Structure 1
Amino acid sequence: MDFELRILGSSSATPSANRHHTAQVLTIGNQLHLIDCGEGTQMQLMQYKIKHQRICNIYISHLHGDHYFGLAGLLSTMHLQGRQLPLHLFGPPGLSEILSLQFRYSGTNLSFKLIFHELDTACYKKIFEDKLITVHTIPMEHRVPTCGFIFREKPKPRPLIKEKLPPYLTPPQLVRLKWGEDIKDEQGNLILANKDVTLDPKHSRSYAYCSDSRYKPDLLPYLQNVDLLYHEATFLSDMEERANQTFHSTARQAAEMAAAAQVRHLLLGHFSVRYKDLTPLLTEAQEIFPKADLATEGSIFSVVDQHR
């Protein structure tokens, strides 16, 4: 099953000719999750041949324009192209009102059901769950209410070693073995130990999206050991004071967070337009956390489905 992140935009508040406002698509199996929706997101979806009608959920981290100004346009295009499937939208207080006003004065009545989930951006909370994943909010520290998101696969079944399975096992017993249970008789006596007939399950993959925020070490408990961490890196460390004043982070601070949380892979994004060449930001981060990359337009980052 795919677990793949595509970057659509990497710029901070001001876009440039080569960098777009923040947006990402996380593909998990056959589901597409859109994370933030800056101006021009639907154009980027077309650029990379991503079918927006396959998007099941949209997550908006906060109400600065570079993270949601593309939303009304994308929803309108979905409507014009006849979308029928419901769409879940997760966002901070005020977003539903903004969209309602835009659609009211444009005379737009969406052809599909838009299900809005208002987020409490100040806490860690589960906001979505299906048979494959859970999604939690994580509180950021920014100038307006802001949260990040953590996507986690649910625990996976243990593979059965067919040649070691006794022929008398029933289908319900096989299911229990897959989920780590031993087989016992009615008196509780062990008949078959799980460890003798199964293998360890594959690793449950995870992605953490840390949107605009000051450096915030108290996020570490939520980020421990995630496979893929996106952390904003608006500035180089020589502008740390400016980063603090504007409630942003530096590339060095992002790397320090990744190292302390022992993540597997760090992605840097939300770059200030002042940096024409992003190499210094990557270099600064890699001095602390070597497994760092730039989350630039078109980049794809996959987490392989395997034993860890």
Structure 2
Amino acid sequence: MPINLTILGSGSAVPVLHRGVTAQYLNFNERRILIDCGEGTQLQMRKFKVKFQRIQMIFISHLHGDHYFGIFGLLTSMSLWGRTQELAIYGPPELEEIIRHNFKLAQVYLSYQLNFYPVDVKEKTRIFEDNSIEVFAFPLKHRIKCHGFLFQEKEKEYRVNPEKIEKYKLSLTEILSAKRGEDVKRINVTLPFKDLVFPKEKLKSYAYCTDTKFYTKLPDWIKGADLLYHEATFTQEHLDRAKATGHSTAAQAAEIASQAQVGQLLLGHFSSRYKNIDPLLEEAKSIFPSVSCVKDGDVFIVN
């Protein structure tokens, strides 16, 4: 199954007419995931035809408003539209108190259950897994505590070649052994499992690195990701401003992508000072050629 990523907001700090603040919708092996939820996210979902009632999990990177102020309206709208499915929220430990206190004061009673999972890690740590995907969180270097996320396909069993099943008259027990990567041992012969199975496909992955300074640990944590989103709030011309605010330049994002040997780099979280983002793109391309500057509504697919 493909990774399907929709950019709902590509800007930073405040929404502007042509660029919303941070939010992304990720369909990964049919897991429907919202990553960050800046102001106006539900309107962006309607604009770009994302069905928010299908969301199963929300991941919030940190508690700056341009990354979570939209969650109150979104959760309320889900209830007004009759949602009954439980919703999982992964984010800063304080987020649950903020949401529940807000709803208590406003006397908002949701029609569905919220399940909160606090994220507060010092190294790359797995925070979710099921039979298809796993999600890792890792710290970023921002002005307040902030986390990035790696969404990764789980290791699968081998697929046994039907022609080999017929050729060697494999029993069910032998088929299961080959699927686990075990040689099939018979009385007079051993059948190497690699001769019985198809090669495994590369596991797909998506890394999300929002608000952060240049951080040398990131390449090890996201090594080989198919798709990397890395904030690029400024160009190198405004490097001092990037350092002061806990952000990265396009060149620094490209350096992380190069060191991590990712497949494709997506730049976003642009400062509103840039009406034209071509300078950020050119700056990054001089270091890492496979790069795009995202726009609201862009869709990226990894097959």
Place the TM-score, normalised by the shorter chain, in its bin.
over 0.9
Corresponding residue number in structure 1 for 2:146: 146
Q: Deviation of residue 105 (structure 1)?
A: 1.0
Q: CA RMSD in A?
A: 1.4
Post-superposition CA distance 1:167-224 (Å, at most 9, x none): 5322232133123221125x8x863211112121111100000010000011221111
Post-superposition CA distance 1:13-62 (Å, at most 9, x none): 02211000100011013221100000000011111111111100000000
Mapped to 2, the partners of 1:146 and 1:61 lie a distance apart of 6
Corresponding residue number in structure 2 for 1:276: 275
SS at match of 2:240: helix
Q: 1:68 to 1:190 in 2, by over 3 A?
A: farther
Q: Which 10-residue stretch deviates more, 163-172 or 83-92?
A: 163-172
- Runs of 4+ that moved beyond 3 A: none
Corresponding residue number in structure 2 for 1:81: 81
SS at match of 1:217: coil
Mapped to 1, the partners of 2:4 and 2:285 lie a distance apart of 22
Amino acid at match of 1:59: F
Q: 1:87 to 1:172 in 2, by over 3 A?
A: farther
Q: Does the 8 Å CA contact 1:156/1:202 hold for their aligned counterparts?
A: no
Mapped to 2, the partners of 1:116 and 1:195 lie a distance apart of 43
Corresponding residue number in structure 2 for 1:164: 164
Corresponding residue number in structure 1 for 2:12: 12
Post-superposition CA distance 1:236-279 (Å, at most 9, x none): 00111110111000000000010111111000000000000011
1:65 is aligned to 2:51? no
Corresponding residue number in structure 2 for 1:182: 183
Mapped to 2, the partners of 1:111 and 1:172 lie a distance apart of 47
Q: Does the 8 Å CA contact 2:158/2:181 hold for their aligned counterparts?
A: yes
Consecutive unaligned residues in structure 1, runs of 5 or more = none
Q: Deviation of residue 121 (structure 1)?
A: 4.1
Post-superposition CA distance 1:103-162 (Å, at most 9, x none): 001111111110000111433211110111000101101111100000000123323222
Amino acid at match of 1:97: E
Q: Which 10-residue stretch deviates more, 41-50 or 117-126?
A: 117-126
Mapped to 2, the partners of 1:109 and 1:190 lie a distance apart of 66
Mapped to 1, the partners of 2:230 and 2:290 lie a distance apart of 13
Q: Does the 8 Å CA contact 2:125/2:138 hold for their aligned counterparts?
A: yes
**What is the TM-score when the length of structure 1 is the normalising length?**
0.95
Q: Does the 8 Å CA contact 2:23/2:38 hold for their aligned counterparts?
A: yes
Amino acid at match of 1:65: G
Aligned residues: 302
SS at match of 2:283: helix
Mapped to 2, the partners of 1:258 and 1:20 lie a distance apart of 24
Q: Does the 8 Å CA contact 1:121/1:138 hold for their aligned counterparts?
A: yes
Matches within 5 A, 1:205-244: 205-244=204-243
Q: Percent same amino acid at aligned positions?
A: 46
Corresponding residue number in structure 2 for 1:291: 290
Amino acid at match of 2:185: K
SS at match of 1:248: coil
Consecutive unaligned residues in structure 2, runs of 5 or more = none
Q: 1:278 to 1:199 in 2, by over 3 A?
A: same
Corresponding residue number in structure 2 for 1:23: 23
Mapped to 1, the partners of 2:149 and 2:13 lie a distance apart of 20
Q: 1:62 to 1:190 in 2, by over 3 A?
A: farther
Mapped to 2, the partners of 1:172 and 1:33 lie a distance apart of 37
Mapped to 1, the partners of 2:229 and 2:179 lie a distance apart of 33
Corresponding residue number in structure 1 for 2:244: 245
Q: Which 10-residue stretch deviates more, 269-278 or 10-19?
A: 10-19
Amino acid at match of 2:250: A
Corresponding residue number in structure 2 for 1:98: 98
Q: Does the 8 Å CA contact 1:122/1:140 hold for their aligned counterparts?
A: no
